[in-house]
A and B are shown apart, each in its own frame.
Chain A
Amino acid sequence: MLEGTPLKITFELAAVTTVLLFFVSVPLAFWLSSSRSRIKPVIETLVSMPLVLPPTVLGFYFLLAFSPSNSFGQWLDEWLGIQLIFSFPGLVVASMIYSLPFMVHPIQSGLASLPPSLKEASYLLGKSRTTTLLKILLPNIKSSLLTGIVLSFAHTVGEFGVVLMIGGNIPGETRVASIAIYDQVEALNYGAANYYSMVLFAITFSILLLVYLVNGGYLKKFWK
């Protein structure tokens, strides 16, 4: 092993982000798929913004908002004892927002593709919205859930701009693999850059391949 920490931080960040994001996105996607509220288009737009906005823009505003010299950053620091700038928790928060559409969109379209009568049948059998979501709706959109989880994970692994802006480049704390590659290339250390790159390439390729195999039903014959 050349230097394990940037890779470890990368996958730790991706795992934590994905898990937290999943629990945030399921209710949000459920609301978006069933609501007719007037503010829905605004929320939908906000969720999709990270798709089109340069990550540096996002990072820049995070930097401003979370900075301890700012009132919000100050409040976080004083009341919760959290400093989000140049720290791992800050990276998680920024990554969650940056990967939000990759989790919300598949789940939302999965829920929207179910016939509305499923939900209604469950309500008529006396079940609450939460029970209906957990026992009926989510089990029927497993492939959408898998897609959302994997895309968010892979997308977080591939982050660069946001991480650099808000996390900086602190070895062992916020230096993720994508930044380590940039660093090594700048130092003309191509061997190390190649090592990180190969690992990222191989892992993201395997993850995405697995999703396509599972969702395409290619693996069914092995566990039947």
Chain B
Amino acid sequence: MITAQFNKKLWSAQGGMQLDIQMELQQGECLTLYGDSGAGKTSALRILSGLLQPDSGRIEVGGETWYDSGKNINLPPQKRNIGYVFQDYALFPNLTARENIAFGLRKGESSALLEELITITSLGELQHKKPGQLSGGQQQRVALARALVRQPKLLLLDEPMSALDHLTRSHLQDFILEARQRYGFTVILVSHDLGEIIKLSDRVAVLGNGVISREGSPAQVFMQHKISGKFQFSGKILGIEQQEVVWIVTLLIGANLVKVVVTEKEIQGLSIGDQVIVASKAFNPILQKIRDL
């Protein structure tokens, strides 16, 4: 059980912002922090891990107080036993993959877990290479294994897969699910990828301007305003082409190219590179279960 309540004044390019977070997690749960960049997601993770000190609040993990501004308790990051995967992986360039993972072992600790983690992350053949010789996905696996070698109660993942391709991502997500089942740690994930959030998390907290504005299961949070039979996608204009009296706009939505017909009136003010929303209300999608193909 993790309970945390803290606030901190943050300064960004847009000016000051008050981060005010309250969260509660069950043992073994996976919570995703979702929100615009600059909403305070990374700062929240840094406060939980002890890398950043809040102005006031209280953080309690499994009955142990990590931070309490009232009682002047502030455990350093070294004593919090957290697994943290950084956005840039933060692998040590001077150590091999294996040494990177082993760096987290305590003095005299057996290397059984180290071997196990190398096996389940399929790093066997790569373990003696330096991070510079590994691909992004391989580096990510090393970072994950390293974060787990101290058997943390809490694993913090800061957009760990944003730089990876779809297939590699999917493999890593499977690995996280498997590891969570095996070791039973609690996860807080920062992610922008809806597929990833739905696959990995039990609960989503939407962070906007420093406070959690909405919270619930991924389905509750993301389906809410789309439930009215309205389809809505955001995309980017790649091309505009005039054909007779109408314009054809080519959009990139996710990884798909879509062509949309637009009238002369609607094309005003649109140019290549603009972010747009394509919405359709007046149609009735048909939903069928896929079976007996």
**Using a CB–CB distance below 8 Å, which chain A residues touch chain B?**
115, 117-118, 120-128, 135-136, 139-140
Q: How far is the CA of A174 from the CA of B38 in the complex (A)?
A: 61
Contact partner of A120 (CB less than 8 A), chosen from B77, B106, B146, is B77
Q: Give chain B residues whose Cβ lies under 8 Å from the Cβ of A136.
A: 92, 94, 103
Q: Is A124 in contact with B94, judged by CB distance below 8 angstroms? A: no
Q: How far is the CA of A136 from the CA of B82 in the complex (A)?
A: 19
Q: How far is the CA of A118 from the CA of B146 in the complex (A)?
A: 13
Q: Give chain B residues whose Cβ lies under 8 Å from the Cβ of A121.
A: 84, 86, 90-92, 146
Q: Is B104 in contact with A126, judged by CB distance below 8 angstroms? A: yes
Q: How far is the CA of A188 from the CA of B77 in the complex (A)?
A: 67
Within the complex, the shortest CB–CB distance from A114 to chain B, in Å, comes to 9
Q: Is B51 in contact with A123, judged by CB distance below 8 angstroms? A: yes
Q: Which of B140-163 contact A (CB under 8 A)?
A: 146, 149-150
Q: How far is the CA of A37 from the CA of B91 in the complex (A)?
A: 28
Known: A117-B88, A124-B77. A140 touches B93 (CB 8 A): yes
Q: Give chain B residues whose Cβ lies under 8 Å from the Cβ of A139.
A: 94
Q: Is A125 in contact with B94, judged by CB distance below 8 angstroms? A: no
Within the complex, the shortest CB–CB distance from B213 to chain A, in Å, comes to 28
Q: Which of B84-125 contact A (CB under 8 A)?
A: 84, 86, 88, 90-94, 103-104, 106
Q: Is B84 in contact with A126, judged by CB distance below 8 angstroms? A: no
9 A-B pairs with the lowest CB-CB distances in the bound complex, closest first: A117-B90, A125-B104, A139-B94, A121-B90, A123-B77, A117-B86, A124-B84, A126-B78, A124-B77
- The A interface, classified by DSSP as helix, strand, loop or mixed, is helix
Within the complex, the shortest CB–CB distance from A220 to chain B, in Å, comes to 14
In the assembled complex, 7 residue pairs joining A and B whose CB atoms fall closer than 8 Å, in A order, are: A117-B90, A120-B84, A120-B90, A124-B78, A126-B78, A128-B78, A139-B94
Q: Is B49 in contact with A124, judged by CB distance below 8 angstroms? A: yes
Contact partner of B103 (CB less than 8 A), chosen from A125, A128, A140, is A125
B76 within 8 A of A: yes
Q: How far is the CA of A122 from the CA of B103 in the complex (A)?
A: 8
Contact partner of B94 (CB less than 8 A), chosen from A120, A127, A128, A140, is A140
Within the complex, the shortest CB–CB distance from A35 to chain B, in Å, comes to 16
- The B interface, classified by DSSP as helix, strand, loop or mixed, is loop
Q: Give chain A residues whose Cβ lies under 8 Å from the Cβ of B82.
A: 124
Of all chain A residues, the one with the shortest Cβ separation from B83 is A124
Q: How far is the CA of A190 from the CA of B149 in the complex (A)?
A: 69
Q: Is B94 in contact with A126, judged by CB distance below 8 angstroms? A: no
List 12 other contacts, CB 8 Å, given A120-B86, A120-B90.
Answer: A115-B90, A117-B90, A118-B92, A121-B84, A121-B91, A121-B92, A121-B146, A123-B78, A124-B83, A125-B150, A126-B106, A127-B103
Of all chain A residues, the one with the shortest Cβ separation from B78 is A126
Q: How far is the CA of A127 from the CA of B83 in the complex (A)?
A: 13
Q: Give chain B residues whose Cβ lies under 8 Å from the Cβ of A135.
A: 103
Per-residue CB contact flags for chain B residues 42-82 toward chain A (1 = under 8 Å, else 0) read: 00000001010000000000000000000000001111111
Q: Give chain A residues whose Cβ lies under 8 Å from the Cβ of B86.
A: 117, 120-121
Q: Is B92 in contact with A127, judged by CB distance below 8 angstroms? A: no
Known: A120-B51, A120-B77, A136-B94. A125 touches B88 (CB 8 A): no
Within the complex, the shortest CB–CB distance from A106 to chain B, in Å, comes to 18
Within the complex, the shortest CB–CB distance from B241 to chain A, in Å, comes to 44
Q: How far is the CA of A139 from the CA of B95 in the complex (A)?
A: 9
Q: How far is the CA of A125 from the CA of B107 in the complex (A)?
A: 12
Of all chain B residues, the one with the shortest Cβ separation from A129 is B78
Q: How far is the CA of A109 from the CA of B241 in the complex (A)?
A: 52
Q: How far is the CA of A117 from the CA of B77 in the complex (A)?
A: 13
Q: Give chain A residues whose Cβ lies under 8 Å from the Cβ of B93.
A: 140
Q: How far is the CA of A115 from the CA of B104 in the complex (A)?
A: 19
Q: How far is the CA of A47 from the CA of B222 in the complex (A)?
A: 56
Within the complex, the shortest CB–CB distance from B291 to chain A, in Å, comes to 48
Contact partner of A118 (CB less than 8 A), chosen from B80, B90, B106, B150, is B90
Q: Give chain B residues whose Cβ lies under 8 Å from the Cβ of A115.
A: 88, 90
Q: Give chain B residues whose Cβ lies under 8 Å from the Cβ of A122.
A: 92, 103
Of all chain B residues, the one with the shortest Cβ separation from A127 is B78
Q: Is B92 in contact with A140, judged by CB distance below 8 angstroms? A: yes
Within the complex, the shortest CB–CB distance from A87 to chain B, in Å, comes to 41
Q: Give chain A residues whose Cβ lies under 8 Å from the Cβ of B149.
A: 125
Q: How far is the CA of A135 from the CA of B83 in the complex (A)?
A: 20
Q: How far is the CA of A218 from the CA of B225 in the complex (A)?
A: 61
Q: Give chain B residues whose Cβ lies under 8 Å from the Cβ of A128.
A: 78
Within the complex, the shortest CB–CB distance from B136 to chain A, in Å, comes to 16
Q: How far is the CA of A128 from the CA of B76 in the complex (A)?
A: 10
Q: Give chain B residues whose Cβ lies under 8 Å from the Cβ of A120.
A: 51, 77, 84, 86, 90
Q: Give chain A residues whose Cβ lies under 8 Å from the Cβ of B106.
A: 126
Q: How far is the CA of A169 from the CA of B82 in the complex (A)?
A: 61
Q: How far is the CA of A115 from the CA of B93 in the complex (A)?
A: 11
